[in-house]
Structure 1
Amino acid sequence: MAGATVSVIIAAYNAMPYITRCITSVAEQSIGRDQLEVLVVNDGSTDGTAAELDRLQGLYPDLLRVFHQENSGGPSAPRNHGLDHATGTFVYFLDADDYLGSEALERMVRMAEENDTDVVLGKMVGVGGRGAPTSMFKRNQPRTDVFSSRVYWTLNPMKLFRRELLERHGLRFPTDLAIGEDQLFVGAAYVHASGISVLADYDCLYWVQREDDGNITLRLKGTQRRLQFLPRMIDLILENVPPGPGRDHLAHRHLTVEVQQLLAGHLVHEPRETQHKTLDRLAEIIEPLWHEGMNERLSAMARLRLHLVRHRMLDEVLELVAFEKQLARTKVATPVLVDGGRALARYPFLRDPERAIPDDCYDVTDQLGVRHHVTRAEMEGGTLRLAGHGYLHRVETRDVGTELVLRERDSGTEYRLPVTHTPTPGLGADQDAGRYAYGLAGFEADVDIATAADGGPLADGLWDISLAIGAQGLRKEVRIGSKRAENVSGAADTRVLATGGGPRAVTLYTTKPYGNFTLDLGENKHKVRSLLRVDNDVRWAAGSTAGLRFGGRVGLAEYPADALVLALEDGTGATVTFPVREVSADGAFEVTVPVDTLPAGVWTGDLRLGTWTVPLPALPDGLAPAKWRRRALPWYARPLPGSPRHFALKVAKTDLVRALARRLK
C-alpha cells in the first residue's frame, strides 16, 4: 500500500450497513488494488461499525488499514487522521454512506495526469432522494479553475486531490466546526490549485440519503453553527482573492446559496429574539462581500433578499421566505409590472412606500424568458418563408413590435425586417395555470435574398436568423429554430438560383448542436459540388447500338431549368451538351449520350451546373466498342486505352485497309 496512486480516506461513525458497500466499491475499482490504499477511521461508532471494519480488514489485508479512536464529534478529526497517514500521490475522501462507480478512480486519476491538475471533480449522482449538485457537470472540463467554472458550487470533499497540494499548503479540516468544515478545506484547495478538472461523462460518486436521515448536514439544524463557518469562508476569499470579477464569482455562491438556506431552512424556526440576533449577525458577515456591482450577477430575488438582510428587515424577510415557499409549491411564475422599458417582478413590497425598496431589487428584465416556436421555414425560389410565434414569458402581447433579424456571423452586419403579426388564441393556457395570455404572438415573414439588404441582395456569408420580440416597450432577441414543429425540417436545403450576376448557391440549414436556422449564401459550409454525383456504372443503353448511359444523383432542392447538363469536349474546343431532364423525386437521373452523333475525336467530359463541374468516371475495363455506319461507312466508339482515372472516349471512322490487314493476319 505504501506509495499508492490513490489514498482513499473514509471517516466512519455508526455507518452500518452502508460501510460494507462503501469499502467494497473501492476494493473493486478498475484501477486495481495494487494502486490503492484505503484508510478508514472509526470515530467511536456504537452500532457494529467497528466489528465490520475489522472483518473487512481481514478480507482485504493488503488494501485496508483501520484506525479506531474516541468519538470526536464530527468528520474533521478522522479525515485529518487518515490524511496524516496517507502515502498516495492522490487523496480521495469518501463518506461511509456513499459508494463509487467501478471506474471512478481510474478515470479521475487519468484526467489529473493528462491535464496536470490538482483537483478532479467526478460526477455525483443522488441516491434515495438525495439531491446532488449538477451545474458543474454539464460537460467534461479537462482543465479549468475556480473562477471560470461552476466548481465552487460544490464544496463537499468527495473529490480527488493531489496530495502534494494539500501538504504544501498545510490543508486540514478544522476540528472546531460541526458543519462547514468541508467548505473551508475544499475552498482553500480550489483557490490554491494549479488547475481543476471536471469529469462529467461518468457517474463517479453515488451520494446516498440514509434511511434514518443520519447524514450529518441533515441532522444539525439551526443558524448558529452556520454563522460560525460562513465568516471564515468569507475571510478565506478576502485573504486569497483580490477584488474584482474572480472574488465576485466566489461571493455569488455565498450571497445566494448560503444566505437563502440559512433563512429558509433555519432562521424561520427560531424564537423571535434569536431571529433578530441572527439577522443582525448575518448582515455583518456578508457586508464585506457585497457591493453595488454585484447586482448584475444576482437574480432579482437574491437582490431583494440581500436588501432585506442588510437593512435588518426581519418581518419582511420572513414574509419573503413564505412567499418563496409558496412559489415553489405552485410552480406559477410571478407576474411582472412593465414600466419604462423594464419588467419588475411583483414580489412582496414592490413599490410599497413604507418600505421604499429600490426598483432594482425587482428588475427581471434580463431574466425574462423568450419563448418561440417555428411552424414554417422553407425556401421558395429565392424567398425564405417563415412563420411561428414568439413572446416574452409573463408579458402579455400588447403593443407588439417583433422584427426578424438577419446577422452575418463574421462581420456582424445585420438587417431588421418587418414581420406580419398573427393571432395565437389560447397560447399560454397550458402554462402558469393559464395566468398569462399571448394572443398576438404569431409572426409571418418573407425574406427575399435579392432585396433583404436594405433593398439590395444579401452578401455571401452565414446569416443567422433571430427574432427581436417586442411587447409593451420591452424587446429581447432569440435565435429561432431550436423549437419547431415536427413537419419543419432542420436538414440542409441547398439550391442554386439564377440571378443577374449568375447562378448563386443558397442553403437553409440548422446549426449543431442548438438547431437554429441559418442561411448560407455562397457555399461557406455547404458545397454545391458535393451534391452532384455521377455513378461509376457507365454502360451501353439497353436496346441501343450506340447510346452510352450515365447515371447519378443531384442533391439540390432547386436549380435553373436545363442548367444541369452532361458536357463532352473533343480537345479542340468543340463542346456538345446533353441536358439532364428526367430526375426522380430522390434526385436520381439517367442520361443517354448518342455517341453515333459525335464527330471523330477523343472526347472527355463532366457533369455541369453553371460553374460547378464533376468529372465523368472512367469507362469500365472490357467495355465493348460501339459500331455503326455513317453514310454507309463503318464507325466505332471505344474507351481510350491509358485513361484509367478519367472518362475518355475515342470516336473514329474505321480504317478499312488496317481492318482488312488485321483480318488477313
Structure 2
Amino acid sequence: MTGPEISVIVAAYNAMPYLSRCLDSVGEQTLEPARLEVIVVDDGSTDDTAGHLTERTADRPGWRVIRREHNSGGPAVPRNDGLDVARGEYVFFLDADDYLGPEALARMLAMARKNDSDIVLGKMVGIGGRAVPRSMFTRDQPRTTVWDSRVFWALNPLKLFRREFIERHGLRFPVDLPVGQDQPFVARAYVHAKVVSVLASYDCYFARLRDDGGNNTQREGGAVRRLPLLNAMFSLLPEIVEPGERRDLLLRRVLQSDQREFLEHLGRENDPALRHHAFDVFRNHVSRFATPSVVSPLPASDRLRLELVRRGDLAGAVEMMRFQKDGEPWNVRVDDGRAYAEYPGFETDLPRHLFDVTDELSVVHRLTAAAWGDAGFHITGEARIPGLPVSSLTAQVVLVTRDGSTAYPVPTRCVPVEDRIRFETALDFTDLGGTLITPDRWDVFVDLDWSGVHRRVRIGARRDADVMTGESTRLVGDGIDVRTVTAYLTKPFGNLSFDVDMRRGRRPLPVTVALTTRGGAFRGTGTVPAIGLPQDAIRWSLRTPAGDRVPLPGGSSGTGHFDCALPARRLVTNGRLECTIRGLTGTDPTPVLAGGEPPRLRAWWPSPRTWRIRRHGTQVRVDNAPITPVKIMRRLRRRLAGTFGR
C-alpha cells in the first residue's frame, strides 16, 4: 500500500509534561517512520501542550496536529476527529499520559498481518499505581474472539484496530458520555470482530496514573458521572447480543468491573440526594440483569454486593466495597467440605452461598527441587492457601494423564513450615498403581486438603531459578519392560510433565559411547541414565551392508552402565554400530560417539586390514581398508629411517 500502515491517534488535553514522553515513545518505535502516521488532537489545552506540539511536529513528515478551540469534555470527540482523517491500514489509540514499548507497534502489526486480525491487544503495564487489565495477558493468543477469552475485561480502546473494520461497522466514540466513552465503542468492535489477537509476551503499553489526578476516570463525582455509561451499556448489550450464554458473559463483566468502580465512587459521594439517586438507578439495572446465570460464576464478594444492591442496602454494599478495597482480613469457616468467607453480614439472614469462596481459594505454590535420583524423580516444593492455617493443611502429589482419565496419587511427605507446608516425594515410575507406568503424557498436580476443603493445582510454573533448566530422560524398567520417561516443562506455561514413551515428537534416545582401542579390539563403555533395567538389557551389534546383525560381546547393569567390544577377529565387513535395549518399545536408541574417534585397529587375519570407527552423519560407522604390500614396505622404511637416522 502507498499510505501509512498505522495511524497513531493521540487525544491531548493539558497533557504536559506527560505528552513529551508519550511522543518520544512513538518516535522511538522500531517500525520505520515512513510506515507511521501520527495524529495528535489538541482538545483545547490551556497549558503549553500547543506550543510543545508545534515544536515536536515541525520537522516530522507524517505527524500532524489538529487543534480544537474549546475543550470537548472528554476523549471521544478528539478520537473521532483523528479517525476522520486517518489514512493508515490500522489505527492505534494512545492516551497522552501514557507511552509505548519500543517494539510495540511492530510486534502488534506483525501479529495482525499473520492472523488477519481485526483487533490486537498489547500487554499493558500500570505505572505509578495505575490499575490495568491483566487477566487476558497470561499468554499470547494469536487467534481468539470475545467469546473464547477474557478480552471483554479490557474495554479501553488502547489497541490496534483494522481501520476498514471500523469504517465498515460505522464505529465512533459516543460524545454524550462524561466518562467511559470507550466502552460502547470497544464492546461493539469485539462483538463484530472475527479475529482478536492478544500479544502478552511483550510489554506494549505503559499506562500512567497522573500525579495531578488528571486522568479522566479519576475525577470527582464519579458515581453520578458513571450513570450515563451504565445506562448506555445496559441498553447496548441486549441490542447487539441475543439472550443466552454470550450475553451473560458480557453482562457479567459490566456487573463486576463497573459495579466495583461505581460503588467505590458512590462511597465518596458527599451529597446524600445524589448518592441515593445514583444508587437507585444502578439498583434497577441490577434487578433486571443480575440473573443467576449471570451472577453465579462471579466471586463471592461480587455476588454479595450485587445482592445487597438488589435488596436496596446502600450502606451494606458500600461497606462491603470498602472492606475489600482496604484488604481487610477475613476468616474462613468450613462446613460440609465448603469454605465460607466471614465477610460483613455473614451472621445475618443473607444466603450462605453468597459467602462461598471454596472455588476462589488461591493456592500459592513453588517447586524448590525437581530432578532424577536413584529411586525415581524427586520433587520438593512448598504450598499454602492464603487465609487458612497451615496446621491442618495436607498435600499430595498426583500424576494425571493429559486427558484426565487416569490419576495416581503418590505417597508424599508433608512438613508445616511457618505459614506454608513443605512437601516432597519420589516418583517411582516402576510402581504406579502396582504396575509400570503406562505410555502417555502425564501432568503433575498437588492436591491440598484443609478440613475437607480440596484444591488441586498444576505445579512447575513457579519454581526456583535452578529447577528444571531443561528436559531430562531416564529409561525406567520393572525387570521385564522398559519405558522412556522424559521430564519436561510445558510451553508456554512451564508446568512439570512427563512424556512416557511418546518420545517428545518421536525423537530417538541418544546413547553416548566412549571408544578406545585395546587388546586387539575396539572397546566401548558408557551409561544410559536408567532405573530398574533388566540385566544385560543394553546390547550392541554391527549392522552389515547386507542387513545382517552381528552381535557384539558385552553387558549392562540395571542402572544403565554398559560395555561392549569389537574384537579384530570378528571384524570381517564394514557396517554401522547399533544399540538395542531389551524390553524397550518404539524406536531404537541412536549411538553417539563421546569425544574423538578412537585409534585405528590393525588386524592381520584372515587378511591384513586397518579398521576405524568414525562419525558419519547421524551414524557411527565401522570402515576398513586393506593393508597392501606397498603400505607394509612404506611403514617398514619409515621405521628403519627413524632407527638408523638417530
Q: TM bucket by the smaller chain?
A: 0.7 to 0.9
State the partner residue of 1:307. Answer: 307
> 1:279 touches 1:314 (CA, 8 Å); kept in 2?
yes
1:208 positional shift? 3.3
Match of 1:577 among 543, 547, 553: 553
AA of the residue aligned to 1:350: F
State how far apart, in whole Å, the 2-side matches of 1:476 and 1:62 are.
56
Question: Cα gap change, 1:408/1:81 in structure 2, threshold over 3 Å: closer, same or farther?
Answer: closer
State the partner residue of 1:222. Answer: 222
State how far apart, in whole Å, the 2-side matches of 1:616 and 1:227 are.
72
Q: Percent identity?
A: 36
1:487 positional shift? 9.0
> 1:25 touches 1:100 (CA, 8 Å); kept in 2?
yes
State the partner residue of 2:490. Answer: 512
State how far apart, in whole Å, the 1-side matches of 2:108 and 2:475 are.
51
**Tell me, what secondary structure is at the counterpart of 1:469?**
strand
1:405-420 correspondence runs (5 A): 405-410=398-403, 412-416=405-409, 419=411
1:357 positional shift? 0.8
Question: Cα gap change, 1:307/1:62 in structure 2, threshold over 3 Å: closer, same or farther?
Answer: closer
Between 158-167 and 408-417, report the one with greater CA deviation: 408-417
1:246 positional shift? 2.0
State how far apart, in whole Å, the 2-side matches of 1:481 and 1:362 are.
31
> 2:512 touches 2:592 (CA, 8 Å); kept in 1?
no
2:341 counterpart of 1:335: no
Question: Cα gap change, 1:159/1:575 in structure 2, threshold over 3 Å: closer, same or farther?
Answer: closer
State the partner residue of 2:611. Answer: 639
State the TM-score, normalizing by the size of structure 1. Answer: 0.79
State how far apart, in whole Å, the 1-side matches of 2:266 and 2:539 are.
79
Pairwise CA RMSD of aligned residues?
Answer: 4.4
1:442 positional shift? 6.4
1:482-501 correspondence runs (5 A): 494-496=473-475, 499=478
Question: Cα gap change, 1:423/1:166 in structure 2, threshold over 3 Å: closer, same or farther?
Answer: closer
2:525 counterpart of 1:548: no
> 1:382 touches 1:497 (CA, 8 Å); kept in 2?
no
State how far apart, in whole Å, the 2-side matches of 1:28 and 1:576 are.
66
State the partner residue of 2:76. Answer: 76
> 1:578 touches 1:593 (CA, 8 Å); kept in 2?
no
Match of 2:356 among 339, 342, 363: 363
1:103 positional shift? 3.9
> 2:444 touches 2:496 (CA, 8 Å); kept in 1?
yes
State how far apart, in whole Å, the 2-side matches of 1:94 and 1:74 are.
14
AA of the residue aligned to 2:512: R
> 1:336 touches 1:344 (CA, 8 Å); kept in 2?
yes
State how far apart, in whole Å, the 2-side matches of 1:132 and 1:70 are.
30
In structure 1, the gaps of 5 or more residues are 429-437, 629-633
State the TM-score, normalizing by the size of structure 2. Answer: 0.81
1:362 positional shift? 0.3
State the partner residue of 1:11. Answer: 11
State the partner residue of 1:625. Answer: 602
CA deviations over 1:505-563 (Å, ceiling 9, x no partner): 2536243245555555446449896241235xx5533xx4x233435553435644444
> 2:19 touches 2:97 (CA, 8 Å); kept in 1?
yes
Q: How many residues align?
A: 620
2:506 counterpart of 1:534: no
1:590-601 correspondence runs (5 A): 593-595=566-568, 598=569, 601=572
State how far apart, in whole Å, the 1-side matches of 2:495 and 2:377 are.
15
State the partner residue of 2:640. Answer: none
Question: Cα gap change, 1:27/1:64 in structure 2, threshold over 3 Å: closer, same or farther?
Answer: farther
1:314 positional shift? 1.8
**Tell me, what secondary structure is at the counterpart of 1:288?**
helix
**Tell me, what secondary structure is at the counterpart of 1:228?**
helix
2:126 counterpart of 1:134: no
CA deviations over 1:10-45 (Å, ceiling 9, x no partner): 333223344444445445544444444433333322
1:282 positional shift? 0.8
1:433-512 correspondence runs (5 A): 452-453=432-433, 455-480=434-459, 494-496=473-475, 499=478, 502-505=480-483, 507=485, 509-512=487-490
Question: Cα gap change, 1:189/1:524 in structure 2, threshold over 3 Å: closer, same or farther?
Answer: same
**Tell me, what secondary structure is at the counterpart of 1:287?**
helix
Question: Cα gap change, 1:549/1:379 in structure 2, threshold over 3 Å: closer, same or farther?
Answer: closer
State how far apart, in whole Å, the 1-side matches of 2:110 and 2:450 are.
52
State how far apart, in whole Å, the 2-side matches of 1:162 and 1:389 are.
46
**Tell me, what secondary structure is at the counterpart of 2:323?**
helix
**Tell me, what secondary structure is at the counterpart of 2:553?**
strand
State the partner residue of 2:418. Answer: 427
State how far apart, in whole Å, the 1-side matches of 2:187 and 2:310 are.
25
State how far apart, in whole Å, the 2-side matches of 1:281 and 1:156 are.
24
**Tell me, what secondary structure is at the counterpart of 1:223?**
helix
Between 17-26 and 469-478, report the one with greater CA deviation: 17-26
State the partner residue of 2:239. Answer: 239
2:312 counterpart of 1:316: no
Question: Cα gap change, 1:213/1:615 in structure 2, threshold over 3 Å: closer, same or farther?
Answer: closer
1:78-97 correspondence runs (5 A): 78-97=78-97
Between 117-126 and 59-68, report the one with greater CA deviation: 59-68
> 2:121 touches 2:197 (CA, 8 Å); kept in 1?
yes
Question: Cα gap change, 1:627/1:140 in structure 2, threshold over 3 Å: closer, same or farther?
Answer: same
State how far apart, in whole Å, the 2-side matches of 1:588 and 1:490 are.
25
**Tell me, what secondary structure is at the counterpart of 1:327?**
coil
**Tell me, what secondary structure is at the counterpart of 1:125?**
strand
Between 212-221 and 386-395, report the one with greater CA deviation: 386-395
1:139-158 correspondence runs (5 A): 139-158=139-158
Question: Cα gap change, 1:407/1:43 in structure 2, threshold over 3 Å: closer, same or farther?
Answer: closer
1:309 positional shift? 0.9
Question: Cα gap change, 1:378/1:349 in structure 2, threshold over 3 Å: closer, same or farther?
Answer: same
State how far apart, in whole Å, the 2-side matches of 1:211 and 1:157 are.
22
CA deviations over 1:372-396 (Å, ceiling 9, x no partner): 5667877777767767666654444
AA of the residue aligned to 2:452: G
CA deviations over 1:641-661 (Å, ceiling 9, x no partner): 9x9876557899x999xx99x
State the partner residue of 1:286. Answer: 286
1:96 positional shift? 3.0
> 2:264 touches 2:321 (CA, 8 Å); kept in 1?
yes
State how far apart, in whole Å, the 2-side matches of 1:47 and 1:186 are.
30
> 1:382 touches 1:449 (CA, 8 Å); kept in 2?
no
> 1:505 touches 1:523 (CA, 8 Å); kept in 2?
no
Q: Which has the larger radius of gyration?
A: 1
1:308 positional shift? 0.6
State the partner residue of 1:434. Answer: none
AA of the residue aligned to 1:547: A
In structure 2, the gaps of 5 or more residues are 637-646
1:84 positional shift? 2.5
AA of the residue aligned to 2:400: R
1:369-380 correspondence runs (5 A): 369-371=362-364
Question: Cα gap change, 1:384/1:196 in structure 2, threshold over 3 Å: closer, same or farther?
Answer: closer
Question: Cα gap change, 1:554/1:301 in structure 2, threshold over 3 Å: closer, same or farther?
Answer: same
1:85 positional shift? 2.8
1:62 positional shift? 5.4
1:364 positional shift? 0.5
2:351 counterpart of 1:345: no
> 2:555 touches 2:562 (CA, 8 Å); kept in 1?
no
1:317 positional shift? 1.9
**Tell me, what secondary structure is at the counterpart of 1:40?**
strand
